[in-house]
Structure 1
Amino acid sequence: MNRNYARLVVPIFVVAIVLLLVVPVPAALLDVLFVVNIIGALVILLIAMYATKPLDFSVFPSLLLVATLLRLGLNVASTRLVLRDGYAGAIIETFGHIVVGGSMIIGAVIFCILVVIQFVVITKGAERVAEVGARFTLDAMPGKQMAIDADLNAGLITDEQARARRSEVAAEADFYGAMDGGSKFVKGDAIAGIIIIFINLIGGFAMGMLQRGMSAADALQTYSLLTIGDGLVSQIPALLMAVATGLIVTRSTADTDMGTAAGAQLTQSRSALMIAGGAAIALAIIPGMPKLPFVLIGGVLLLTAQRIKAREDAATRESARAEAVTQGAPRDETEDLIDAMRVHALEIMLAPDLVDLVSGSADDLLGRVRALRRKIAMELGVVIPPVRTRDSLELPAATYVVRIAGVEVGRGHAPAGKVLALGEDLGSLPGTPIVEPVFGLAGKWIPVELQHAAELAGATVIDRVSVLVTHLSALVTAHADRLLTREDVRVLVESVRTVSPSAVDELVPGVLSLAQVQQVLQGLLVEQAPINDLTRILEALTLRARASTDPEQLVEAARAAVAPALVARHTDGGLLRVVTIDPSLEQAMLEGLRPGEDGSQILLDPVQIDAALTSIGTEMAALEATGTEAVLVCAPQLRPAVRRLVAARTPKAAVLSYGEVTSASVAIETVGVVRGAATLTAGG
């Protein structure tokens, strides 16, 4: 349908429904509208069944309102014709004759049963499910948002994917909220239908006797037939819409439609089908029971169970054949020894019960690691080496270890069948309390079955792969300097040569060797400074290296070249919060600054140094407790030495120089002053 026409169809349809309430319509047109009502409800029901998840039919709450309005309009139009002409079209009369079947009592009983089914069972259940679904969805919304942020920070998803997931979470909450209100329309429609039936019956009886001169029996016979027919014509679409409402609000997210999912899940247990089939045949043996239905159904169940067994056997043989092919011929023992003794740049050791994390899917550990490599390359400008993953019988159960150059840098746990719940109030959940290795948050490993309960309790739930990849990301970022090899530097420099050959030719190898460039880049990565703007870094090194090749001065020159990027990592809405050093203490540090083989050092009284470091730690901890991020600033000459001192006590604290801070166009707010005593003055 043309998009311009589609935009006009619904508004015109709604206006036409409103006209039904006030403008009389002929019986023939009313028949057409009744057909539209019935078939439309059937189409909506089928679409609800084939939707793979509720948001695929997000317009359903609005359609529910329009369909309810249409049925009410048809009720008013049909009531007008019944009371005025004693005839409201062929559909109403035919439905009345079919249900009544020559007996008013049968007709009334059948109609009452249909009303009870719709109002008491389906409508009431759909209303309750919609209400509970809306509440649970809204309660779980903060946890889902935090999980999205955790995946984004770990590099598992891109910014576009994070925005899409946030939009989906918001749309899901809006949908269930709308369904909670829409279910009230279904309930109100059922109540209105019952009331209209009684109005038609009493009004028709009065019209027949008072205005048409009919006897009481004739009036009751005529108008009860029309009333029941009118009620059925309205109640059948209402019943279909109520069922569609129940299907939508009870569907969980799936990859297939309802029919396919039901068929796959109902046939997943061969034992269950065999027991049910045997029970059906056993019931046929009971005297007086009909033999054929029980035997027929039991035979179908047993045959289905047998086919499931054959399918499982075929899958097992295929899996064994594929495993035999992949294993191939055994390698020579010497090759195995050489491979085992080789030191790999980055590897993950998994306990035997964690090998399921490497499933071969796009979302398993290897797929997440590929996404992490891209994230770190974009953020730091360094391509980490491929991650070697293998199992180790020496590790305790549920344990993984991350190694860099053969040395363990971190380990953690990821128990099978469990997820990590992070939050403050986890006392009601089973599990041993732990501390999350990256952010130091309190948490518990809980069974996967309790994930929804944990989310309702306000906890953030993270799967095992995400926990491992987040830990790996933190470790790789902290040790990025160790992962940057000479060959990596050569590749990076050659990539710069293709776009800016002069920046490379003036520096390497005439002024600095590749080893010296590597040393500078490693110095930047030690403080997690990005090196992706390598052209600007090389240009700055060219100018500084003509005066001095001291590694510390070269690193500071490179930092100055990318200072705006360094400052941007710590700004919040264009505001940079800083902690300064008391001028008297800073002057004493400058007077005590001395060069050394490993870089400049500050020679002060140990008590004074300890007091200053304690003051820095206290200030940073106080700011972190309030959720405020700040950086320590000092004179450019002091920055390398101060950074080395601070790293021992407060490794997460960033240290910038006055020149770096002023190079970026940001607002600066002083939130603390470091003094030469163990006290702290907040706010500057």
Structure 2
Amino acid sequence: MKKADIGVALYLLAAVIFFIVPISSNLLDVMLALNISIALIVLFNTLFVKEVLDMSFFPTLLLFTTIFRISLNVSSTRLILTTGNPGNVVQTFGQFVGGGDLIVGAIVFIILVIIQFVVINKGSERVAEVTARFTLDAMPGKQMAIDADLNTGAITEKQARERRNKIQEESAFFGSMDGATKYVKGDAAAGLIITFVNLAGGTIMGILRGGMTFQEAIEHYGVLTIGDGLSSQIPSLLISLATGILVTKASKEADFSNILVSQLFGIPKVLYIVGTTLAVLGIATPLNTLLFLAFGATFIIAGRQVDKNIGIESIEEEVNAEETEAEEVRKPENVVSLLQVDPIELEFGYGIIPLADVNQGGDLLDRVVMIRRQIALELGTIVPIIRLRDNIQLNPNQYIIKIKGVQVTEGEILFDHYMAMNPGYVEEEITGIPTFEPSFHLPAIWITESQRERAESLGYTVVDPPSIIATHLTEVIRSHIAELLTRQDVQNLVNNLKESNPVLVDELIPKMLGLGEVQKVLQNLLDEGISIRDLLTIFETLADHAATTRDTDVLTEYVRQSLKRAISSKYFPANETTSVITLDPKVEQEIMASVKQTEQGAYLTLDPETTKAIMNSVQNEVTKLENMGKTPIVITSPIVRMYFKKLTEDYFKDLIVVSYNEIESNVELQSVGIISRDGDK
């Protein structure tokens, strides 16, 4: 055991023993002196501690000191009643502090009790209760502020974690302090009761067993009782004062003494007024002239000194600022900070700032948090930090989205307007400003707030500007999520899986596949919108086939087949026949015949005319399905799927290509077109 553990255990054990075992007056003197010392240590710790959480165990400390102090009360009571000699400390408090007079001692004792009960305990209890309530109520807002700072890149994940932990610790601390103040209040009440018991019991013992008269008994035992009460109430008062100081500190992190002195004596004008007032009172009234003039002169001199110091500090700050600026000019530019490229950036004109400013009611930051959560649930990958910043070079209502520092798209909104889109069945048109929805480039109309209700009643889909930006940002991230997946992200996913499946991870990485090869497979899946959330199935499949091939494209096909349940549920609704396009077997044969294998992977060698004919046929069939209001899906044989996808991705980036092995057996399909070279089928 550590020395600290032994010390705390002995402290608590002594308190329990003192309740049961009688102790000598000399040992009681030592324990009372220790009790006063601890009370002083607690008081000055709370006074000078810079952060309240540095005294996070204060509620427990209150309980410890309270039980120890009560045990000493019991021991002193036992000595007073049995021997009439409770030791030097109790007698000194009774005779010296109380003036050796029962009435004076009783009055001092009563005053101390009133101060502790009515002033300190009552105030500390109320402040602790209010602080605990407000701290708890403020937790959601503080958590949202941390999430917002994290999403904008103002803080790191580690800093966000530390701030969240600090918020939880503060909430727990002030909640505990709310209850701990009851210890102090109960301790004071117990001390008062014990004092009256001592007085009554001592008087009876003196009369019945000591042969004293009533006057002698009450004088003798009264002084001892008052001494006992004072020796326990003064440490209790110090602890109560420490409690009040801790819960009333306005700043959670502050140098109490410096701030107190600077706030109290930091304004020269106040010192001049007070000094002048005291001097006038000393001259114009019967008050002690010398005393009040001395105080007045002291405050006036102190005011002049503070005024002088303020002037010197302002000059020093101005000089330091100029020196700092000059140093920055002389210092060669630090270009390292300029090399950092943010994965995702949303820049906007000054007209959009209210949407991102929480103080102005904007919720764009909250929507960014939801975007990251939505994509994590949908695709199973972590979206990098999205940095939001204003750009005065943009038009007021314009915004741009950058991926790795390069602009990939832009949009423009009308503040205080709504975008209304016709889902296809609205017959009555509504007046507004024609535009295009930025995410899917659908025709839309800008309408005012007064038109919103009517547009919704007519069947229009109406969205507000923050939703437009959030949807656009979501689609851009979804289409670029594959390239945003870094090796570090993959390593984090691997580490997470390893906690529950260490055998699988150790078998696969790095013995069978390197981290970069696993990254490529995951990027291939994300590139076609396939979720990698079921990482266990993906790694199991890779471990099964990595022994025969390390071609990441081929491994991706094996993984897709293992994920056929997820692929089927994504593209083929249950209890519904899905219209699809199939591939002519002749076209499949031509594609496979043109595949060339190299050490770097496979590639197609189709001649341009054949490629053009196939693309024309794809265009015709896709157009047919789109005119029917259906999503174009092409079904191919397993061996052809990845090559056909590579062939078409430059022409039809969002075309869905699925192999027969990626479809559940209960899915109902209907072929409504065949892609052929001649284009006549």
- TM-score, structure 2 normalization: 0.58
d(CA) in 1 for partners of 2:29 and 2:614? 98
Question: Does the CA contact (< 8 Å) of 2:524 and 2:553 recur in 1?
Answer: no
d(CA) in 2 for partners of 1:292 and 1:151? 55
Q: Where does the alignment leave 5 or more consecutive residues of structure 1 unmatched?
A: 332-344, 358-375, 414-436, 439-469, 489-498, 507-516, 541-553, 614-631, 664-669, 677-684
Q: 1:122 to 1:149 in 2, by over 3 A?
A: same
- Cross-structure match for 1:339: none
Question: Does the CA contact (< 8 Å) of 1:384 and 1:483 recur in 2?
Answer: no
- Cross-structure match for 1:586: 578
Alignment deviations for residues 646-668 of structure 1 (CA, whole Å, 9 cap, x no partner)? xx9xx9x99896899899xxxxx
Question: Does the CA contact (< 8 Å) of 2:97 and 2:105 recur in 1?
Answer: yes
**Match for 2:628: what amino acid?**
Q
- Cross-structure match for 2:293: 291
Question: Does the CA contact (< 8 Å) of 2:52 and 2:253 recur in 1?
Answer: no
- Cross-structure match for 1:118: 116
Alignment deviations for residues 408-459 of structure 1 (CA, whole Å, 9 cap, x no partner)? 736899xxxxxxxxxxxxxxxxxxxxxxx99xxxxxxxxxxxxxxxxxxxxx
SS of residue paired to 1:581: coil
In the alignment, structure 1 residue 608 sits paired with structure 2 residue 628? yes
User: Equivalences for 1:630-641 in 2 at 5 Å?
Assistant: none
SS of residue paired to 2:36: helix
**Match for 1:56: what amino acid?**
D
- Cross-structure match for 1:27: 25
Alignment deviations for residues 119-151 of structure 1 (CA, whole Å, 9 cap, x no partner)? 111111111222222223333334444555555
User: Equivalences for 1:381-396 in 2 at 5 Å?
Assistant: 392=392
User: Equivalences for 1:245-644 in 2 at 5 Å?
Assistant: 245-251=243-249, 254-263=252-261, 273-283=267-277, 284-286=279-281, 287-288=284-285, 290-327=292-329, 392=392, 402=400, 404=402, 409=410, 477=477, 480=480, 560=557, 578=570, 580-581=572-573, 585-590=577-582, 596=615, 602-604=622-624, 608-609=628-629, 612=630
Q: 1:227: how far off?
A: 1.3
Q: 1:262 to 1:585 in 2, by over 3 A?
A: farther
Moved more, 65-74 or 294-303: 294-303
- Cross-structure match for 1:181: 179
**Match for 1:307: what amino acid?**
N
Question: Does the CA contact (< 8 Å) of 2:91 and 2:224 recur in 1?
Answer: yes
In the alignment, structure 1 residue 206 sits paired with structure 2 residue 207? no
Q: 1:253: how far off?
A: 5.8
Q: 1:14 to 1:654 in 2, by over 3 A?
A: farther
Question: Does the CA contact (< 8 Å) of 1:349 and 1:401 recur in 2?
Answer: yes
- Cross-structure match for 2:61: 63
Match for residue 7 of structure 2 among 6, 9, 12 = 9
Q: 1:274 to 1:86 in 2, by over 3 A?
A: same
Paired residue total: 501
**Match for 1:581: what amino acid?**
P
- Cross-structure match for 1:361: none
Q: 1:148 to 1:277 in 2, by over 3 A?
A: closer
d(CA) in 2 for partners of 1:660 and 1:261? 73
Q: 1:675 to 1:197 in 2, by over 3 A?
A: farther
SS of residue paired to 1:87: coil
Q: CA RMSD in A?
A: 6.1
Moved more, 230-239 or 138-147: 138-147
Q: 1:237: how far off?
A: 1.0
- Cross-structure match for 1:620: none
Moved more, 172-181 or 592-601: 592-601
Q: 1:317: how far off?
A: 2.7
SS of residue paired to 1:604: helix
Q: 1:82 to 1:172 in 2, by over 3 A?
A: same
Q: 1:300 to 1:174 in 2, by over 3 A?
A: same
Q: 1:133 to 1:20 in 2, by over 3 A?
A: same
Match for residue 94 of structure 1 among 86, 92, 104 = 92
d(CA) in 2 for partners of 1:604 and 1:400? 36
Q: Where does the alignment leave 5 or more consecutive residues of structure 2 unmatched?
A: 334-343, 357-374, 415-437, 440-469, 487-509, 543-550, 588-612, 672-681
d(CA) in 1 for partners of 2:211 and 2:156? 78
Question: Does the CA contact (< 8 Å) of 1:348 and 1:401 recur in 2?
Answer: yes
Alignment deviations for residues 143-171 of structure 1 (CA, whole Å, 9 cap, x no partner)? 44455555556666555555544443333
Q: 1:479 to 1:312 in 2, by over 3 A?
A: farther
d(CA) in 2 for partners of 1:223 and 1:309? 63
Alignment deviations for residues 4-47 of structure 1 (CA, whole Å, 9 cap, x no partner)? 33323322322221111121111000000001101011112222
